[in-house]
Amino acid sequence: MPRAKWRTTVTHRFTPRLQAGFEWNPNAQEVGFIGNWIATPESEKTPMVNFGTSSDRIGTPAGPHAYYVTFAKSIPSVKLGPYVSLNYSEFDHGFNFPFGANYQISPGLTTMFMNDGRKSHLLLTYSKDNWSITPMLIWMKHPGISISYGF
């Protein structure tokens, strides 16, 4: 996992539904474009539909990108937010199907189980105002941490 060991992303939200920026993976001397566009915000009856691109999943070499469409729909009565994606992987030269779910433990504390189309990960996020910290269990065996700040 050397490419994913250290990663910095800088994004700008151009509109409430469009953000873009760059991802830097210094171990791989890799800089790439990332972006997300919410085509359809979630409503009471319809899921959120999001299109995006980023470097390919954890464990792939530097260079390949992924392109995806994600469908997500919260279930407020059980504090659950499942999602499913259709992802084109340049590394695999084909499609895979990431999926997962967020569960709100309490205000500001969520857990997420996710499968990137090949392997599973577990995250626990504590968020406050414009920052968050996320301990992670990558591939269900490698510990990691993500720190985010917005301004």
**81: CATH:** 2.40.160.40
> Please, which residues bridge with residue 38 across strands?
50
Residue-wise pLDDT tens digits, 50-103: 999 999 988 888 889 999 999 999 999 999 999 999 999 999 999 999 999 999
Query: What kind and span of H or E run contains 5?
Result: helix 2-5
Residue-wise pLDDT tens digits, 32-54: 999 999 999 999 999 999 999 99
What the block records as the tokens of 110 is 């969520």
Range(s) of the domain holding residue 79? 2-149
Q: How many C-beta neighbours within 10 Å does residue 3 have? A: 20
* pTM confidence score: 0.90
Q: How many domains does the chain have?
A: 1
Under the banding of pLDDT at 50, 70 and 90, the label for residue 4 is: low
